[in-house]
A and B are shown apart, each in its own frame.
Chain A
């Protein structure tokens, strides 16, 4: 039983460590704000979720302490972290940060221009 508990804990924490390290490499080496936000929001979320799952298994299987607040923390991070990533990317686009030169298409530019024209027209009336 102890062996199975150890295997569960070590596997979860190891997956979390790998994803945390990949987050650091992605934030340091990617060329652009949007690609960096992509790396940061996805892989950091999965990394911290796996590490919290490993800690939850440790407290549950080894110390008989079923921690509800850790499960609540996992659910909360899983909901709020992509929302934070979306808001940061949107703020970066609206404040005028240019994407890198490798970018092929930018569909949002025309949509934003159209929305601004409609807004000006509505303000004029």
Chain B
């Protein structure tokens, strides 16, 4: 059972490294944004597997925290790409 968890953790980390390629040489900025969002999602599953390996349930809160932080980062960055500013002053837009 532990061997299976180790192998799956290694596969998840390998796919994170594969997505890093798209972060380094994506042709445009939204490409890198999409790849970073995918890395955040895979980091969540890696931490879930690590919490099985270390046999503790205290890492579970980290999962929720990373999910919230990744969502806020994605929303603010895509708003910056779309409009050029994150928090606007004009109320009529």
Contacts and interface: CB of A to CB of B under 8 A. Distances in A.
Contacts of A112: none
Interface size class of B (residues with CB under 8 A): 35 or more
Contacts of A77: 41, 44, 67
Contacts of A41: 37
Range of interface residues on chain A? 35 or more
Contacts of B29: 95
A26 to B, nearest CB: 9
A39 B63 CA distance: 22
A44 B60 CA distance: 19
B34 A88 contact: yes
**Chain A at the B interface: mostly helix, strand, loop or mixed?**
helix
Nearest to A21: B15
Interface of A: 6, 9-10, 13-14, 16-17, 20-21, 23-24, 27-28, 33, 36-37, 40-41, 44-45, 47-48, 51-52, 55, 58-59, 63, 65, 67, 69-70, 72-73, 76-77, 80-81, 83-85, 87-88, 90-92, 94-95, 97
Interface of B: 1, 4-5, 8, 11-12, 14-15, 18-19, 21-22, 28-31, 33-35, 37-38, 41-42, 44-45, 48-49, 51-52, 57, 60-61, 63-64, 67-68, 70-71, 74-75, 78-79, 81-82
